[in-house]
Every structure is written in C-alpha cells, then in structure tokens.
Amino acid sequence: MDKLRINADRLWASLMELARIGATPKGGVKRLTLTDEDRGARDLFARWAREAGLAVEVDAIGNIFARRAGADPALPPVAMGSHLDSQPSGGKYDGAYGVMAGLEVLRTLNDAGIATRAPMEVVSWTNEEGSRFTPVMMGSGVFANVFTLEHVRAQRDIDGVTVGEALHKIGYAGAARPHRLGAYFEAHIEQGPVLENEAKTIGVVQGALGQRWYDVAVLGQDAHAGPTPMALRRDALIGASRLVLEVNRIARTFPDYARGTVGFLQVKPNSRNVIPGEVHTTVDFRNAKASTLDAMCAELERAASAIEAECRVTIELRENVYFTPCEFDAALVASVRQAAGALGCSHLDIVSGAGHDAVYVARVAPTAMIFIPCEGGISHNEIESATPADLAAGCNVLLHAALKKAGTAGAARAAA
C-alpha cells in the first residue's frame, strides 16, 4: 500500500482536457460560475466520475458529489475536492487541480482494486471565485450553513440573473440532501510565493488566516504648498504615510503569520502643489490566531492616536470585514505531513492567506489542505503555472492522507 502511486500522466491529461473548456488565448481559462463553460466543465467531470463507477449527486446549490462506496456504508465519507469555476482571466490549476486530484485518487484506487472502509467522495463546490455572483465560496458556504440557500439563490449578476435561475439554466439545481463528511481534503496551488521561495514541494496547510479590514479616513487641512510653512501644516498624507508604515511594522513584528497591507490610498485634492487635506485608505490585517489578530488591531488603534497628536490630523478607523482564523484538523494536518515525508517530498508548514472552500467546510468536518508551488506565486492570472511533477506529488500526498483516514478493507488485486 505504501508503494501506491497515482497516475501522473492521467492527472495531467485530465487537467489539460478540462482546461480546453473556456480556454483563453494566453493559456488560461475563463469559466465564470454557472455559465455554459462552467456547465461544460461540470458535465465532463460528471461523465468521468460515472465512467469511474462513482455515484454522482448534485445538491440544491449545485455542488457535485461523486461517491465511491465504502465497506462500511454507515461511515461518513472521506471527501476530496475544490471548484471548477474560474476568475475572468483565470488559470488552469486554481480549483480544477483539487477536483481532478480527487478524481485521480479514486481512479487509482479503482486501478489497484482497493476497497476502503469509509466511502470516499470527490466534491466540486459551486462558485468559489465570486466573480459573477457574490458571496465567494458560495457552495461550500451553503454546505457549512454559513449562508442560507434562499439568500444565495436570490443573488444577481450584473445582468440581473439570479443564482437560482442560472442553476436551472445549466441543469445543476439538484435535490441531494446535505450530508455529513467524515473528513475533507483539498489540494490546491499555493497562490503565493512561499513554497517556490523555500524550494519545497508540499505545503502542509495549518489553517487559514483570519482577517480584519478597515476603511480609514485621515483628515487634515488642504492649503497651498508655497505660502504655508511646515509648522503650520495639517498634512493628511503625512498622517497616512505614517499609518502605512505602522501597518507594516505591526505585521512584521507580530507572530502567527501576521500580515498587514495598505492596498488602497486616495489623496484629496491630489494636486502637486496643494497640501493634502484628506486621505482615504484601507488596512487589511491577517493572522492565524484570533487573539494575535486582535492585538494587532489594538496596536493599530494606539498608533493612530499617536499619529493624530503628532501630525495634527484626525484618523477615523472603521472596521468593515472580520473573518475569524481557521485552524485545520490537527490529526488530518499531521497525516498530510506524514504522507509527504513518507513519499520523500520536501515539505513546509504553511498557512493559507486567502479563502478556500476548505475554510468553510472546516466548520462542519475535520479538514486539511495540501499546497503545491505555482510559478512566481502567480494566480488569478492566465499565466498561472504549475509543474506536472509537483501536481503529481500533491496528488500522491492526497491519496495517502485520504486513504489513511478512510481505512482499507482489503485489495481485490495487487497494488501497482
């Protein structure tokens, strides 16, 4: 069993064939959720699943579950998956990899004639990207009771089409009832630079960073740059620049994968010889631990008060987003790490800075993720790239971690 390996060529071929649906000229894919392209990808996945002997069901929000029976039907299934929809200028791997890797694991078990104790499933979650309909991670969010079905079915795209209408149009408004998962594993490209930078193949994902976002207004007094001496100024951009550097300092000094970003900044009146009277900006703080995230925010509020006094400006901080940090299941995370080690893959404990379906599924089932490197850390882009070797390595880790959880009930034939 330890020598069992997935079929790397088949995994690659499946990914490449899937990528033809919604293919873009620059080598990416445009497969917005619940469009004809999304239907094409769903149909192909469902066909392959049935060809692999899996039982395919669709639930009311269009999530697809492809099940391989287990020796003990009373056990909840061990699921693997991700999503088939893409960004408008998306890549071939984001989401698609997790679904195709799950399928490849079950095909491998078929080839080896391995029966598992628990049933196993491949899941394709609806609308992870949120490009056409918000909220993001819609299908996994409904599955995990984060959103109600009624609420998300009423959401509209820019043409006024609702999620419910779009589901019916592509034939994926199903009737499957929600069910309990015994475990959930999601393989995914990292969408960040850490693995490539550290030259590691497998990211053992500990969880996802919590997020606290702010809208910030810095209010001073605009005045002509020439006649106004430095001491009489109330320059909003000086206050904002101080705040940008404080956000950076806090993120660099706090533990637990702290991150802090000011991505948006707008100056008023924004004229080269007028002292800025007003700056509107944002803060995006992330951390793996809720208590550390809160401490970062408290430190930001202290820093803002100090800047207000020193720069003679007013700073308004309005929190507008809060996502609690997500810690994945310790036993499953350990099994991912153990599988990577047993397979001889270099690996690194890592966190997800972005959201994934796994973050919502983790609320209702033991969950873990497996990251593999993507070139330059680039994702949500047509040039998104991953190597066949890394894709295969991640899939083999998925195979062994999931198989350990599902348990084996015997092999009809000898393993490859």
Report the C-alpha gap between 94 and 211 in whole angstroms: 21
Nearer to a second copy by Cβ, of 245 and 416: the residue is 245
Give the number of other Cβ atoms within 10 Å of residue 330's Cβ.
11
Residue from 89, 162, 261, 338 in contact with a second copy (CB under 8 A): 261
Instruction: Answer yes or no whether residue 129 interacts with a second copy by CB under 8 A.
Output: no
Q: Of 68-107, which residues contact a second copy (CB under 8 A)?
A: none
For 267, the token pair is: 């100056």
Q: Which amino acid is at 290?
A: A
3-state secondary structure 247-309: HHHHHHHCCCCCEEECCCEEEECCCCCEECCEEEEEEEEEECCHHHHHHHHHHHHHHHHHHHH
Size of the site for a second copy (CB under 8 A): 57
Backbone angles phi, psi at 365, to 5 degrees: -155, 150
Nearer to a second copy by Cβ, of 211 and 367: the residue is 211
Closest separation between CB of residue 343 and a second copy, Å? 24
Question: Among 32-40, 110-118, 291-299, 349-357, which window interacts with a second copy (CB under 8 A)?
Answer: 349-357
Closest separation between CB of residue 292 and a second copy, Å? 14
Nearer to a second copy by Cβ, of 22 and 192: the residue is 192
Q: Report H helices in 316-387.
A: 330-342, 357-361
Closest separation between CB of residue 7 and a second copy, Å? 29
Instruction: Answer yes or no whether residue 353 interacts with a second copy by CB under 8 A.
Output: yes
With beta carbons less than 8 A apart as the criterion, state whether 293 and 210 touch. Answer: yes
Closest separation between CB of residue 89 and a second copy, Å? 13
Rg (CA), the chain: 24
Q: CA nearest 45: which of 126, 99, 125?
A: 99
For 83, the token pair is: 């999503």
Nearer to a second copy by Cβ, of 149 and 274: the residue is 274
- 212 forms beta bridges with 285, 322
Question: Among 75-83, 96-104, 121-129, 348-356, which window interacts with a second copy (CB under 8 A)?
Answer: 348-356
Residue from 98, 260, 373, 394 in contact with a second copy (CB under 8 A): 260
Q: Of 209-248, which residues contact a second copy (CB under 8 A)?
A: 209, 211, 213, 223-230, 232, 235, 237-238, 240-242, 244-245, 248
Instruction: Answer yes or no whether residue 15 interacts with a second copy by CB under 8 A.
Output: no
Q: Of 151-210, which residues contact a second copy (CB under 8 A)?
A: 190-194, 197, 209
Exposure string of 157-194, with b = 16+ CB inside 10 Å and e = fewer, is: beeeeebbebbeebebbbeeeeeebbbbbbbbbbbbeb
Report the C-alpha gap between 303 and 308 in whole angstroms: 9
Nearer to a second copy by Cβ, of 273 and 309: the residue is 273
Closest separation between CB of residue 134 and a second copy, Å? 14
Number of residues assigned to the chain: 416
Q: CA nearest 237: which of 220, 225, 250?
A: 220
Among left, alpha and beta (phi > 0; psi -120 to 50; other), residue 248 is alpha
Q: Of 369-398, which residues contact a second copy (CB under 8 A)?
A: 377, 379-380
Residue from 73, 273, 318, 344 in contact with a second copy (CB under 8 A): 273
Closest separation between CB of residue 256 and a second copy, Å? 12
Closest separation between CB of residue 16 and a second copy, Å? 25
Q: Give the binding site for a second copy (CB under 8 A).
A: 190-194, 197, 209, 211, 213, 223-230, 232, 235, 237-238, 240-242, 244-245, 248, 251-252, 257-267, 270-276, 282, 284, 286, 352-355, 377, 379-380
